[in-house]
């Protein structure tokens, strides 16, 4: 059964405000059956010109679960709390193996 990963590259501009998002997002992730694989931490660009900020990787049991997480009421609350806390917030879903 394929899994799916939500990957985010975040440039935090207001760390205090971002803490509210960080406090709300784990409940939304867990409710959709997901688990954090990466949540910040050390990173290094090995090739290319990508200079990511904070990197987050969340594993979900399926593509559908990842999509359900993003559109879920708990994550909508977390997203609202994040407003104005980042200069950049890029997020993708990618199917795994």
Average pLDDT for 6-12: 97
CA distances from 75 to 10, 58, 86, 92, 95 (A): 16, 13, 16, 15, 20
Residue 40: φ, ψ to 5°: 85, -160
Please state the domain extents for the chain: 4-43+52-95
> Looking at residue 2, what is its pLDDT?
79
Average confidence score pLDDT of the chain: 96
Domain 4-43+52-95 bears CATH identifier 3.40.50.1220: no
- In the sheet with 54-60, reading across from the earlier edge strand, the strands are 35-39, 54-60, 4-12, 86-95
Residue 88 scores a pLDDT above 90: yes
Residues 43-75 have pLDDT tens digits of 999 999 999 999 999 999 999 999 999 999 999
């Amino acid at each position: 059964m394929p899994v799916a990963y939500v990957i985010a590259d975040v440039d935090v501009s207001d760390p205090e405000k971002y803490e509210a998002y960080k406090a709300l997002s784990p409940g939304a992730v867990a409710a959709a059956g997901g688990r954090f694989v990466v949540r910040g931490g050390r990173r290094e660009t090995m090739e290319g010109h990508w200079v990511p900020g904070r990197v987050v990787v969340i594993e979900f049991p399926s593509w559908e679960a990842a999509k359900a997480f993003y559109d879920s009421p708990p994550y909508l609350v977390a997203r609202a709390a994040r407003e104005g806390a980042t200069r950049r917030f890029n997020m993708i879903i990618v199917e795994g193996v």
